[in-house]
Amino acid sequence: MRIVFITYFVFCLGAVSFAQQIPQYSQWLFHQFAMNPAHAGIKKCIDIHGVFRAQWVGIKGAPLSGFTTASIPLNSKRKKFLSARHGMGIKFEADKIGQFNTNRFNLAYAGHFNFNKDNRLSLGLYAGIVQFGYNHSTSTTVTPDPAVMRETSIIRPDAHFGAWWNGKNYYIGLMANQLIPTKWNIGEDSRFRFHFALNGGYRFIINDNLGLITSSMVRFPVIGPVNADININFDIQNIVNLGVGFRTQDAVIFMAGFKINQQFSLNYSFDLTVSGLRKASSGTHEIGISFLTCKPENRSTSRCPLFE
């Protein structure tokens, strides 16, 4: 019980102070638009995604996170190189940790610029609102404390920027989150703080039926430890995906997924906790789904939609 209490206290402290305020997901490779607004409308048809994540199962008050996204191209045809294509999207995300919850609703716009057949630059922006709340109903103190027993809910503007560059077999992404560092009016210096992240990947085509994708994500909170994901995923006929990853100071990640008719995807990941939390946690579960309204021409690994 003691370690559960201490862990729970650390969770709450991180949620209301300077630590990581952006939920992290193990399946970010398959849900790029949820991470980066530059992906809005990057594909040729409507693209719908959803993820639910239960982190550090077994610890009371542990994070529960999830999102739903949809994006659509406004002009999917390239008339000539350097001519812009455009896309729009929508994202709703919810994150709960202990008595604290954060809900975001954002609209996205992105422009896509092809410099040649394979190289593309995309720039995008999320804009919307974020609601942060505190529910005192499950809080207890040794002595009555009006500050703890006061329910709080605030709404603030929200904005995020993203950039994306990809070639035939590689990509690089940049994400600048919480561009508007507004205060919460809870405590002396509690606020939404700027976060920065980089991700990238490279695809090795072993043959027409097997591909290997190496990828990584590095997150830079303003105050708090930098953390990174390093992943290796095997793509079998662009139908079955198997992968393993490592998150620094946190977990080993195992991933598996499959596609139906190249349109519907289902992915599951399990984070095996390797930090000190492993004594109280049975790991992290994450499930993700996605759906494309158009069907790719073939299922070869050389036609992976991430690089089209």
| CATH (domain of 174) | 2.40.160.40
Q: So what's the pLDDT on residue 136?
A: 62
Greatest pairwise CA separation for the chain in angstroms: 70
pLDDT at 15: 37
Gyration radius from the chain CA atoms: 20
In 3-state terms, the chain is what percent helix, strand and coil (to 5)?
10, 50, 35
Cα–Cα distance measured from residue 134 to residue 86, given in angstroms and rounded to the nearest whole number: 38
d(C-alpha 50, C-alpha 68), whole Å: 4
CA distance 41 to 48: 11
* Burial readout 147-179 (b: 16 or more C-beta within 10 A, e: otherwise): eeeeeeeeebebbbbbbbbbeebbbebbbbbbb
Coil, helix or strand at residue 74: coil
Contact 205, 216 (CB under 8 A): no
Consecutive 10-residue averages of pLDDT for the chain (308 residues): 38 41 92 97 93 93 95 76 84 92 96 88 96 73 57 87 95 94 65 89 93 95 85 94 94 96 94 88 94 75 60
What pLDDT is attached to residue 10? 40
Give me the pLDDT at residue 81, please.
Answer: 62
- What pLDDT score was predicted for residue 182? 75
pLDDT at 3: 37
Cβ contact 155:130 at 8 Å: yes
SS3 call for 28: helix
Structural domain boundaries enclosing 69: 2-307
pLDDT of residue 141: 58
Please state, in angstroms and rounded to a whole number, the distance separating the CA atoms of residues 236 and 211. 7
Backbone φ and ψ for 121, nearest 5 degrees, come out as -115, 130
- Beta-carbon neighbour count of residue 226 at 10 Å? 12
Name, in order, each residue with C-beta under 8 angstroms of 48's C-beta and a sequence gap of 6 or more.
68, 69, 70, 290, 291, 292
pLDDT at 303: 59
Count up the domains in the chain and report the number.
Answer: 1
Instruction: Supply the pTM of this predicted model.
Output: 0.85
Confidence (pLDDT) at 128: 97
